[in-house]
Every structure is written in C-alpha cells, then in structure tokens.
Amino acid sequence: MSSRAQDALVPIALQIELVGRLLWYERGLQKSADRQLRALILERPRDPASARAAAQLASQLQGATLGGRQVTLARVSYESVEQVARAAQQQRAYLAWLTPGFGELAGELGRALGTRGVLTISSHGADTARGVVLGFELESGKPRIMLNLKQARAQKLDFSAQLLRVVKVVP
C-alpha cells in the first residue's frame, strides 16, 4: 500500500523537535550511560513520499540531539521485516523512524522491532494502533503525539507520568 500524499502530516522538523523533547521523559534512555543515540530511518523503496521524508529526516537528524543524546544515523531501505530487524540489531539501534508508505507493514515492523527493544516512531499517528510506539497526527490543525503505551511497556520503555499528560495514549 502506498502512502497518500494528501494526508496532512506534522512537518518533519516539528516531529524531530517533539521527539527530541519527549525523550527526556523516557527513563530508560536517561538512565543509560551511553551519550549516543543510534537511530534508523526506514525507507520504502520506490515510494517518493518515503524517499522525501527519509531525506528530510536524515538531513535534520544528523548531528542533532534527542533527549540530550547525540544522534548517530543509519538509513535502511526496506526489503523485509527480518532484514530491518537484523539491521536494528547490528546497529544496536535505540529507535527506528518509519517514513510514510509502510501502511499495514508498519504494524509488523513495530512488533518485530519491539521484541528487540527498539522504539518505533511513525509519521502517521494511525500506525500506533498497529503496534508502532510513537506517532504524530494533526487534530484540528494542532500536532498530537500518539503513544501506544501497551506496546511501550511491553518493550520496557519507561515513559514518565509527566509525559503521559501531554500525549494521546492509544488504546
């Protein structure tokens, strides 16, 4: 299933800024002594919207700090769920950012990466209902952070109660 270019998305720069701030409230990351944060950008081949988002993410995440951690980045072109999971393991990724275009596959990726403890983030809020941990959507023209708390807890991600006040928890 391809992505729809008409879907209103939260601008990528704003998504990055929101993640950068909310990761201060993921206690697992904050307890970690590692000052680096390894991130994967998952790109759907032959999907221009995905390529565009991946390029924007790569450009704006490179050298950025998220939750006080310096980001090191790898771009992964999707071939299979297993290949992505392997890449996440090899890179020791803390988070994987799904670009638009994965549709139903987002759920499979969320679950597969979840078993390896990877925080999955999608530009589509609806993907959180499929098993992605964090997503974004525009509700009445305002950005909303969607959090699949059940999936987050299953992955031992420890978001603080303060953060839960400002995100929308997906049932």
Partner 1 sequence: MRAKLLTAASLVLISLWLPRPARAEPPPPEPQGELDALETLLDQPVVTTASRAAEQVQTAPSAMFTITAEDIRTYGIRSIDEALDLLGVGMRVDKARDYYTGVDVGVQGLMLRDYGRHLLVLLDGHVMNSQANGEITLHEGLGVPLEAIDHIEVMLGAGSVMYGSNAMTAVVHVVTKSAQRERGAHGVAELSVAPPSAVDGYARRPDGEHGMGYQYRLGVGAAHTFSVGRLPASFSLRAEWQENLSHDYAVAKSTGEDFELRPGETSWGGVASHRMRAPSAVLGLSLGDFTLRAQGSHYSRTIPLIALFDDQSAEELRSSARFDLSHAKQLNHLLHLNSRAYGDYMHQSESSTWINPWWCLPGQIDGCAFTSRHVSRWLGLEQQLRIEPRADGSLSTTLGYDVRLRDGSGRPADYRDLVNGEYPYATHLPYYKSTSVLGSVFLQQLYRPVNWFTLNVGARLDVDSLFGTHLSPRAALVFVPHHTASIRASYAEAFRGPSAAELYATDPTYVIRPDSLGAEVVRTAELEWQQRVSFVSFSLRGYVAFYRDFIAQRSATPDETSRAFERNELASSVDPTWVVINDNIDRIRSYGGTVTLQARPVRGLSVAGSVTVSRDHSEEISDVLWPRSFGNFRLAYEFRPDGPSLSLATSFAHKRNAFNSAANTENNTVIKVRDTFDLRLTLSSPIRGVAGLRVRAGGGVRVFPDAPYLLTGGSGTGERVQYFHDVPQLYLLLGVSYDY
**CB closer to partner 1, 57 vs 85:** 57
**CB closer to partner 1, 90 vs 142:** 142
The partner residues of 40 in beta bridges, in order of sequence, read 74, 96
CA distance 88 to 142: 32
Q: How far is the CB of 89 from partner 1 (least distance, A)?
A: 19
**CB closer to partner 1, 30 vs 86:** 30
Q: How far is the CB of 32 from partner 1 (least distance, A)?
A: 7
Judge contact between 116 and 85, C-beta under 8 A: yes
Q: What's 17-39 look like in SS3?
A: HHHHHHHHHEHHHHHCCCCEEEE
Nearest CA among 6, 122, 112 for reference residue 54: 122
**CB closer to partner 1, 142 vs 156:** 142
CA distance 14 to 24: 16
Q: How far is the CB of 125 from partner 1 (least distance, A)?
A: 9
Binding site for partner 1 (CB under 8 A): 1-2, 4-14, 17-18, 21-22, 24-25, 27, 30-34, 48-49, 51-52, 55-56, 58-60, 103, 126, 138-145, 160, 162-163, 165-166
Q: How far is the CB of 85 from partner 1 (least distance, A)?
A: 23
Q: How far is the CB of 51 from partner 1 (least distance, A)?
A: 4
DSSP string, 30-69: HH----EEEEEEEE-TT-HHHHHHHHHHHHHHTT-EETTE
**CB closer to partner 1, 4 vs 150:** 4
